[in-house]
Amino acid sequence: MTSGPAPSSDLPAEPLVRFESVSKRFGNVAAVDRLSLDIYSNEFFALLGPSGCGKTTLLRLLAGFERPDEGRIMLGGRDIAATPPHRRPVNMMFQNYALFPHLTVAGNVAFGLRQDGLAKAAIAARVEEMLALVKLEGLGHRRPDQLSGGQRQRVALARSLAKRPQVLLLDEPMAALDRKLREQTQFELMELQARLGLTFVIVTHDQSEAMTVAHRIAVMDRGRVVQAATPAEIYERPQSRWVAEFVGDVNLIEGIVLKTDAGEAVIGDKRGRRYRVAADVAAGAQISIALRPEKIRIHAGPAPPDAPNTMRGKVCDVGYLGSVSTYKVQLDDGVVVKATVANVARTSGEILRTNDNVWLSWPPDAAIVLTA
């Protein structure tokens, strides 16, 4: 959530890439199912979703390795159905890097440029430039099997960037890297994207990665885009229970809208508890309340009388994660609620222990009311 997301209202009217209800079936599995999606110029766009939801297939459709069974894929306003992969101004960084083992690092980076019939000197200059860009100066003569995993990843990146594609597709580019290198690479990718002014589409199933690098994220489920928005919007205003549960941690409470009044609604759950939430919903609607753990306050003693939405319970599990601690609190009726507290002060032990009695509260505007 640290990215400076380009707010959706700032987006230009004409998308660079447009999927128009595209379907791709393998046998009777719909890997991509009537999917529509717009990606704009200069965007760093992430495809996020569980394994097998069709992310790779979507990239391969755009690169031209798969043909859609239905729908249209537009690039710069033109249907690219008839354009073979080698003519598309789109380059892909493969998940396994797919470096040519018989060529040197420089040969790999130069491969795409050679296909364009560029002059030797121009190619050499561009290769130098790309190797400098990914900080691999001096390794041009090595072969891929003489490199470390991280270096190989950089060669793959340099190779896919060398032709300055209109769109760069990255299929889980950091899956093989350790956490430190991964974080470093994430920032380098963001910096590169901003500097080169290209459009990046990255596939990942790591949500913190998607949130770190991307301006916008498309959350996918079973071949469809369930929500496409900025990271903050996806996190704070998920459009469905599924998105709320998939992105980040969440407590879900199901209930019925009892009454509404000036943008505030009173929700009643099965156990007869009442909640006040800030939401515009119709009375009588079946809804779910989604509560992020960090928005719930924990009180060691009884909550102040004016605190809204208070609940009493007992700590049943404590997880110390360094910067934050997560508490699982069992309410009197057995429901377990998760709450996160930032560890602001340096304390040797936990302030709250298992079996401590606690009171929870949350403000009406902390909750997300979901009708789907």
Partner 1 sequence: MTKRSSQMDSGSGVSLGARLIVAAPYLWLLGFFLVPFLIVLKISLSESAIAQPPYLPVLDLTAGLRGLRDFVSGLSFTNYFTIAGDDLYLFSYLKSLEVAAVSTTILLVCGVPLAYAMARAPRAAQPLLVTLVMLPFWTSFLIRVYAWINILQRDGLLNQALIRLGLVEEPTTWLATDTAVYIGLVYSYLPFMVLPAYASFEKFDESLLEAAADLGCPRWRTFFVITLPLAWRGLAAGALLCFVPIVGEFVVPDLLGGSEATMIGQTLWTEFFANRDWPAASAVAVALLVLLLAPIAIYQHLQTREIKVRQ
Ligand X SMILES: Nc1ncnc2c1ncn2[C@@H]1O[C@H](COP(=O)(O)OP(=O)(O)OP(=O)(O)O)[C@@H](O)[C@H]1O
User: Where do contacts with partner 1 occur on this chain (CB under 8 A)?
Assistant: 63-65, 84-87, 90-92, 94, 96, 98-102, 111-112, 115-116, 143, 145-146, 159-160, 163
Which listed option, partner 1, ligand X, Mg ion, none, makes contact with residue 193 (CB within 5 to 8 Å by class)?
none
Buried b / exposed e along 334-371 (16+ C-beta atoms within 10 A) = ebebbbbbeeeeeeeebebeeebebbbbbebebbbbbe
Sheet (strand 17-26) strand order: 29-39, 17-26, 70-75, 78-79
Q: Which is nearer to partner 1, 110 or 279 (CB)?
A: 110
CB of 2 to partner 1, least distance (A): 31
Assess 224 for contact with ligand X (CB under 6 A): no
Assess 31 for contact with ligand X (CB under 6 A): yes
Q: Is 178 exposed, middle or buried (0-12, 13-18, 19+ CB in 10 A)?
A: exposed
Whole-angstrom Cα distance, residue 64 to residue 76? 15
- Residue 157's φ and ψ, nearest 5 degrees, are -65, -45
Q: Which x/- pattern, by CB under 6 A, does the window 33-62 give for ligand X?
A: ----------------x-xxxxxxx-----
Interacting span for ligand X (CB under 6 A) from 24-32, 230-238, 289-297, 350-358? 24-32
Q: Which x/- pattern, by CB under 6 A, does the window 257-296 give for ligand X?
A: ----------------------------------------
Q: Which is nearer to ligand X, 52 or 302 (CB)?
A: 52
Q: Which is nearer to partner 1, 63 or 214 (CB)?
A: 63
Q: Which is nearer to partner 1, 108 or 340 (CB)?
A: 108
Which listed option, partner 1, ligand X, Mg ion, none, makes contact with residue 86 (CB within 5 to 8 Å by class)?
partner 1
CB of 216 to ligand X, least distance (A): 18
161 within 8 A of 153, measured Cβ to Cβ: no
Alpha helices in 46-135 (DSSP H): 55-63, 105-115, 120-133
- Distance from CA of residue 249 to its chain's centroid? 14
Q: Which is nearer to ligand X, 133 or 219 (CB)?
A: 219
Whole-angstrom Cα distance, residue 226 to residue 16? 21
Q: How many residues bind ligand X (CB under 6 A)?
A: 12
Interacting span for Mg ion (CB under 5 A) from 51-59, 82-90, 188-196, 343-351? 51-59
What are the angstrom distances between the C-alpha of 335 and each of 251, 262, 314, 316?
Answer: 10, 30, 11, 11
CB of 322 to partner 1, least distance (A): 37
Give SS3 for 334: coil
Residue 272 Ramachandran class (φ > 0 left, ψ -120 to 50 alpha, else beta): left
Q: Which is nearer to partner 1, 64 or 173 (CB)?
A: 64
Strands 216-221 and 29-39: unpaired
Q: Binding to ligand X (CB under 6 A): which residues in 182-211? A: 205
CB of 93 to partner 1, least distance (A): 9
- Would you tell me which residues interact with ligand X (CB under 6 A)? 26, 29, 31, 49, 51-57, 205
- Would you tell me which residues interact with Mg ion (CB under 5 A)? 56
